[in-house]
Amino acid sequence: MKPIDMSSIKEKLSGLKKIDMKKIDLKNFKFNKKIFFIIIIALIVLVVVARTTGNIQKVLFKKKSDIASKSKPITFEEDATAVKAYKIKRMDFKDTLPALGNIKGFKEVELKFQVPGVVESINFEEGEKIQEGDIIASLNQRDALLKLKYAEVELSKNKKLFELGAISSIKMEQSKLEYESAKSDLDKTNIYAVSNGLMGPKTRDIGSYFNPSETGDKVGLFINADKVYAEFNIIEKDVPKIALGQRVEVFVDAYPGKSFAGAIDRISPVIEGRSRTQTIKVELDNKEGILKPGMFVRALISTYEKKDALVIPASSLKKKENEYLAYVIHKEEPKRIAEAVLTKDKSKAKDKGLFGIFGGKKKEGAKPEASAAAGPKEKAAEYGTIEVRKIVPGYMSEDLVEVDKGVQEDELVVVEVQEEFKDKAKVEIAEVQEGIL
């Protein structure tokens, strides 16, 4: 390698200093575009390197306190479990029990003769009205009339003998009793209506033999329909909810849109049969006669009513051993998260476009077309911490629970609880329900 001749370099530099700019012929000066673009690109690279170096220095020389303060809210947001909340309000609480049943007559009397015999007449057809004292049906009365006639003759004869002193008073009383017995036997061949009502279904025809000693043998059914009963069978688990006097609203398929009000009038004292049900009867007024025995009915039994009660959804309770727990939410506002997001958005806006690279600003007159296309801003997320509380429930239905002690009005509780929360657990409030349908 040849050594550098420093003297020759100095001569050339001194020669450059002596150039007279006035003597330069600008017309003949050729502009080299390639060199110009290389210079521009070099300048851009220098600016980018300077900005990047500055950002690296900011990251490397950040204070530890700043990193901790910004990382904490982000951890809160990431750890929060999304939950639905209910805002507690006082309301008029009413619980009803649905039931299915049938209409029965207020009085349903089986029509039976007291003595055996052949049915001679049935004086009413099914559904016909019957007045009190009417003879509904009769047996063949030939033998009964003969006995009565014989007893009447004996009584008349003994009266004359008693007046003559031919028989004692005991014999006279005996004759009277025999006559009354024969008269009673004749009455037993008839069935009389004890009140106004309707003739129900007939089970015997004229000419058939009736024997009162046979179980279940009857001529038909007498029904008092001025009032009727709606009869329901209540399953065993709902029996504790039932009480005398509870209001009942009854619906009949034959009259859609119409309801009949009544009250529980009778409750069977036993749980019946394999169905394990208890029978109740609801008295209904039927002056119009539109409710027919045998009709299928539905009902809503009002089992509980209380005004201005503190009520929460049943899904907000968690049962643990013999205790009921509710998860109360205390709202928190993570301001630092909002500030961090805002700062990040601003830095992104500065970096957009060629102006951002050189640290320039966007012109004031520019139209915000991109921001308008983005649509409306979403509502900021709400966060809170959990407080586990013991609840003293009052009346409980399948969907709602009256709270006697444990929560207050306007507090937030988690609903649709699917997991067990710990005290001071972080949650994100996805939805707040303020009314119970």
Note the pLDDT tens digit of each residue in 401-430.
999 999 999 999 999 888 888 888 898 888
Q: Could you state, in order of their start, the residue ranges of all structural domains in the chain?
A: 32-61, 68-91+310-356+378-433, 108-210, 221-305
Report the side by side order of strands in the sheet with 117-122.
190-192, 135-139, 117-122, 209-210
Name the strand (E) or helix (H) holding 50.
Answer: helix 33-60
Cα first-last separation, the chain: 97
Whether residue 217 has pLDDT greater than 90: no
Q: What's domain 108-210's architecture?
A: Beta Barrel (2.40)
- Helices (H) then strands (E): counts for the chain: 8, 19
Whole-number pLDDT of residue 87 = 92
Whole-number pLDDT of residue 397 = 87
Read off the pTM. Answer: 0.54
CATH domain 221-305 topology: Elongation Factor Tu (Ef-tu); domain 3 (2.40.30)
Q: Locate tokens 């007045």: which residue?
A: 131
Whole-number pLDDT of residue 411 = 92
Would you state the structure tokens that stand for residue 52, as one six-digit string? 């990047």
CATH code assigned to 68-91+310-356+378-433:
2.40.420.20
Q: Locate tokens 């020669």: which residue?
A: 15
pLDDT band at 74 (very low <50, low <70, confident <90, very high): very low
Note the pLDDT tens digit of each residue in 127-166.
888 888 899 999 999 999 999 999 999 999 989 888 888 8
